[in-house]
Amino acid sequence: MAYTNADEVPENPETAALAAAAGTSSSTLTEARPDAAATCDVPDGSAASRFRVLPRWSPRTYGPWLLVAGLMTVYLLISLARYYRFAPTSWDLGLFTEEVKQYAHFHAPIDDARSPGYEILGEHFSPITALLGPVFLLFPTAVTLLVAQAFLFALGAVPLVRLGADRIGTGAGYALGAAYGLSFGLAEAVDADFHEVAFAVPLIAFSLCAIVRGKYTHAALWALPLLLCKEDLGITVVLPIGIALILYGRTLLGSLLSAAGTAGSLLTIYWIIPTLNPTHQYEYWNKGGCADPTQPGGAKPITCLVGQGLQNPGGKLELVFLLLAITAFVALRSPLALLALPNLGSRFITTNATFWGTAWHYNAVLMPILFVAAAHGIARARAAEPLPDISRPPRRWARGVSRAMAAHGPVAMLAVSFALVPQFSYNQLFDPNTFTFDARTEALSHAISLVPDGVTVETTINMLAPLSARDDTFWVGNTPASVAPQYVVFDQVVSGFSPPISDVPGFEQQRHPGSKYKVVYQDGFGIYVLRNTS
């Protein structure tokens, strides 16, 4: 039985006895800890445990979710504006939309846009995206993926705010959560349409916050699903979390988690992905340079990897500086910041510069790591005392830095996040062109509406995602001659062909011998809709 008013709760005999011994009333004891009943902080099986007051709907309860709503709004303004302008950053949203659509209908995730008959788990192992299948059945559109990603990124703020409120103060907790939500790693990930790491971000946040709270089993349970998010996360995130648990004294639990992370990544990269891949190999080995075991002679010595990692040191140091700056360098006060090193190291030894830049989604998983480390660092700074055996000036300096971290760290982080807004994708919110939907946009939307549901259609990248939600879609850049789609939706401006294709019907008939395409729609913007009449 629950009571919504403390006055309605029957007097607890145990409380009455304590009150009599103390010479006061039971109501006085209750008032001394007004949150006791709300938190149900009573021994199980006691008389008081039978009368529990429902927690009140307080700012502490709903506040983090208001922040989630605010962050989601910011994310969706960026991603939906890009989607409805038909201006994707790549074909990824189209590929993931096709994958989720297949899961929704209990089909294997075959993605013809990637390549006809391509098993998408043979590129990246991210079966966790199947969780979006039921939602996609209700809302069969690529927008479903964008909304889900916005929610997942924003969700990572909830454990951060609660941890911050408990360890460094309520206001500081909200500043911490807002700084995380506005960080450049999430801004660039949102601008890059949709990626599977959206699921990893809140899982990492919940896992690391559990470590700081000393809930180590919870931390391990939050970390395990990362093995289903992407093939490398077992080694770059799950293994480090396991090592952290070992260092915190949970040897068995940490060892099991470390083994699971390592085995999961190795099994996925060396067996599952090659089995499903049409070329029977892990396609991204060629990004590893010296680390590529498929090259003649296999992977090169460690000295080669070190040399590869030291290439373009300026760009890599800039990234490291930015990652630390968004936490006002407070993250350095916590050993948890070391958990970012495996991710950075694996990216720095690659030959693909985009992997160690600030753009795209590659820094998203580092945001919860660094901001949890920042919260932990501030708490440590508040509890720390300067070393007694150092000279007076360094002691004063150390005391000053520690006090500054403790007092101003959260506000400094939030200030840095705001200061970086003009440098990264949040600046789109202040550009009128972001929300300009002109006649060309309307023409693209009209062209898509002319294509029936459930047909095969070949299209350019800008219309791949909307069409993938309801049709079997092929990308115009890699459709083989043996495939003759029923429809073609072609945008001359963004086709990727140079010089631009002038005779689109003739071009398509040449690409697909034996097929005859009739022009259904054509306009002055270079947009065509063709129907296969053969």
Q: What is the mean pLDDT of residues 371-385?
A: 87
Confidence of residue 271 (pLDDT cuts 50, 70, 90): very high
pLDDT in tens, 238-266: 999 999 999 999 999 999 999 999 999 99
pLDDT in tens, 434-477: 999 999 999 999 999 999 999 999 999 999 999 999 999 999 98
CB atoms within 10 A of CB 452: 12
Instruction: Please tell me whether residue 58 adopts helix, strand or coil conformation.
Output: coil
pLDDT at 38: 39
Single-letter amino acid, residue 49: S
Cα–Cα distance for residue pair 144/311, rounded to 1 Å: 40
Cα–Cα distance for residue pair 386/403, rounded to 1 Å: 11
Question: Is the Cβ–Cβ distance between 66 and 105 less than 8 Å?
Answer: no
pLDDT in tens, 81-97: 999 999 999 999 999 99
Cα–Cα distance for residue pair 250/260, rounded to 1 Å: 15
**CB-count exposure of residue 325 (10 Å: 0-12, 13-18, 19+):** middle
Residue whose structure tokens are 């915190």: 248
Cα–Cα distance for residue pair 18/33, rounded to 1 Å: 14
Mean pLDDT of the chain: 86
- The token pair at 9 is 């709760």
Considering the entire predicted model, what is its pTM?
0.85
pLDDT at 352: 84
Cα–Cα distance for residue pair 138/144, rounded to 1 Å: 9
| Residue 55 DSSP code | P
Cα–Cα distance for residue pair 512/528, rounded to 1 Å: 17
Which helix (H) or strand (E) element contains residue 302? helix 302-309
Cα–Cα distance for residue pair 117/111, rounded to 1 Å: 6
Question: Is the Cβ–Cβ distance between 175 and 201 less than 8 Å?
Answer: no
Residue 39: what are its φ and ψ, rounded to 5°? -90, 0
Residue whose structure tokens are 């890599």: 316
The maximal CA–CA distance of the chain, rounded, in angstroms, is 99
- The token pair at 259 is 């083994």
Cα–Cα distance for residue pair 90/21, rounded to 1 Å: 72
367: left (phi over 0), alpha (psi -120 to 50) or beta: alpha
Q: What is the mean pLDDT of residues 346-369?
A: 92
| Residue 503 DSSP code | -
CA-based Rg of the chain, rounded to a whole angstrom? 28
- The token pair at 257 is 């988690």
Cα–Cα distance for residue pair 248/373, rounded to 1 Å: 15
